[in-house]
Amino acid sequence: MKFGVIVFPGSNCDHDAYHVISKHVGQPVDFIWHRETDLSTYDAVIIPGGFSYGDYLRAGALARFSPVMNSVKKFAESGRFVLGICNGFQILCEAGLLPGALIRNRDLHFICDHIYVRVETPDSPFTNEISAGSVLRIPIAHAEGNYVCDDQTLDELKRGDRIVFRYCDPNGAITEAANPNGSRDNIAGICNRERNVLGLMPHPERACEDLLGSSDGRDIFRSLAATLAAAV
Amino acid sequence: MFVDFPNGPIMKAKVYVNLKSGVLDPQGKAIQHSVELLGFTGISDVRQGKYFEIALDPAVDNQQARESVEKMAREVLSNPIIEDYRVEIEA
């Protein structure tokens, strides 16, 4: 199985993602410059966190027009796996690969903190090694992580079991106090209808080593690796 | 300020982008709070938006320019999930 990490001007979590795939997943991984268009050798691509194009206009808005994004669309349509983390989630929403949008945090601040998310469904290629209801401690680092969508979209997400992660307290309770940024329904991560594209605001790639304060993020990469091992 | 076109005076497009009415505007709320702290009264709501001035080549005809700017506003300058836009063309 082969992974790719897409690099936009302004990406800054690309090396973290690369490190996790090479060291913890133990699989080959390439950086993919945003002007590349050939993704044919990859089984999964990660759109990493950062500030692509300086977050100009709206977070993720300009990265969507990079040449690689057309290929990412086709890549996703072919059923291969796309993981968007933080700015990657924002880009996937702007590109229309995931519904909704991410706006300024409720309290305006850039939040850099370890938070808790509850795994809402093990029925995704990114969570199939985790039991539903598990609580993961993972850092967030964003100013625009406030997930918004209309009522119909929320209903579709719920009915389709597509809300993958929700912000919770340490015991797994979904409360307003545990919602760091005002996201609708405490949504921290969602997948597409076909379930092969996941976007989430928390940074699992920064939570793969105890030295960094948490290794809970490894479960997500372990799940994706298990999915790929079964598929390849 | 603007690029000089050899074909005559600048035609300008103005694009206004605002959050849709149902979408929470934390920045607008913070601005409202601050101006009220400063003593400004009689404010019931503040919504922050974006404003773009786009210089157009006057050689392009008005209708074509309008369509092009509309498309730009719809597909790039605004995110239709959360924002509305309005385009004005100024000769």
Note the pTM of the prediction, 2 decimals.
Answer: 0.93
Mutating which of A53, A56, A57 best tests the B interface, going by the most B Cβ atoms within 10 A? A57
Buried b (16+ CB within 10 A) or exposed e, B20-35: beebbbbbbbeebeee
Hey, which residues 75-94 in chain A have their CB within 8 Å of chain B?
A: 93-94
Residue range A75-124, pLDDT digits in tens: 999 999 999 999 999 999 999 999 999 999 999 999 999 999 999 999 99
The beta strands (E) that lie in A19-178 are given as: 29-33, 44-47, 81-85, 101-103, 111-119, 135-142, 146-148, 163-168
Closest Cα partner for A95 from A159, A16, A155, A34?
A34
pLDDT of amino acid B44: 95
Residue A197 dihedral angles phi and psi, to the nearest 5°: -120, 120
pLDDT, mean of residues A180-190: 98
pLDDT in tens, A148-159: 999 999 999 999
| Chain B residues touching residue A108 (CB < 8 angstroms) | 26-27, 30
Decide if A174 touches B, using CB distance below 8 A.
Answer: no
**Cβ distance of B26 and A146 shorter than 8 Å:** yes
Whether the CB of A61 is below 8 Å from some CB of chain B: the reply is: yes
Sort strands A81-85 and A44-47 into parallel, antiparallel or unpaired.
parallel
Q: Which residues of A are marked as active site? A: 86, 203, 205
Interface residues on B facing A, Cβ-Cβ cutoff 8 A: 19, 22-24, 26-27, 30, 76-77, 79, 81-82
C-alpha–C-alpha distance, residues B74 and B80, integer Å: 7
Strand partners, A209: A214
The predicted-structure confidence for A11-46, as pLDDT tens digits, reads as follows 999 999 999 999 999 999 999 999 999 999 999 999
pLDDT tens column, B27-60: 999 999 999 999 999 999 999 999 999 999 888 8
**Chain A residues with CB-CB distance to B49 below 8 A:** none
Contacts of A42 (CB under 8 A, 6+ apart): A2, A3, A4, A30, A32, A75, A80
**CA distance to partner chain B, nearest, from residue A211 (Å):** 35
Tell me the C-alpha distance between A102 and A86, whole Å: 10
Local confidence band at B6 (pLDDT 50, 70, 90 cut-offs): low
